[in-house]
Amino acid sequence: MSKFNVGDRVTIRDLPPLFHTRTQGYTRGRTGVVVALRPEWVIPEDEAWGRYEGRREPFYMVRFNQRDLWPDYGGVAIDTLETEFSERWLEPAANASPAAGNG
C-alpha cells in the first residue's frame, strides 16, 4: 500500500550523499506535492549495488515550485519541476511550510 496520495505535501529527506544516488541534491530538504503514484519498483539503492531482486517500494512523482528549489530562481512564479522518488525518501511536510506546486 502506498503511504502517500496524490495531493499530499511531502518533504524530501536530506540524507548525506555518498558514491551514488537517484535523489538529486537540489531536491533534498525541499517540499513539493505528490502529483502521481508510480509502480512499485526495486529501489535504486539495491539495483546500483547488485541486488537486482532487492526491495520493492512505491514510487511517487512530486511537483515542486521552482522558487522552492532555487532561492534565486529567475523565471516566473508559476514555473515547476517534476521528478520521482521512492517512498523512503519522502516524509509528510510540516504544516507550517508554504504550499508548493500548483496542482
> Is residue 71 a contact point for another protein (CB under 8 A)?
no
Q: How far is the CB of 96 from another protein (least distance, A)?
A: 25
With vertex at residue 68, the alpha carbon angle to CA 40 and CA 66, rounded to the nearest 5 degrees, is 80
Q: Is 40 in the site for another protein (CB under 8 A)?
A: no
Which of 11/80 has CB closer to another protein? 80
Characterize 65-77 residue by residue with b for buried, 16 or more Cβ atoms within 10 angstroms of its Cβ, and e for exposed. Answer: bbbbbeeeeeeee
By CB under 8 A, is residue 75 in contact with another protein?
Answer: yes
Q: Does residue 2 bind another protein (CB under 8 A)?
A: no
- C-beta of residue 93 within 8 angstroms of C-beta of residue 31: yes
Q: In angstroms, what is the minimal distance from the CB of 9 to another protein? A: 18
Q: Of these, 2, 3, 47, 67, which contacts another protein (CB under 8 A)?
A: 47
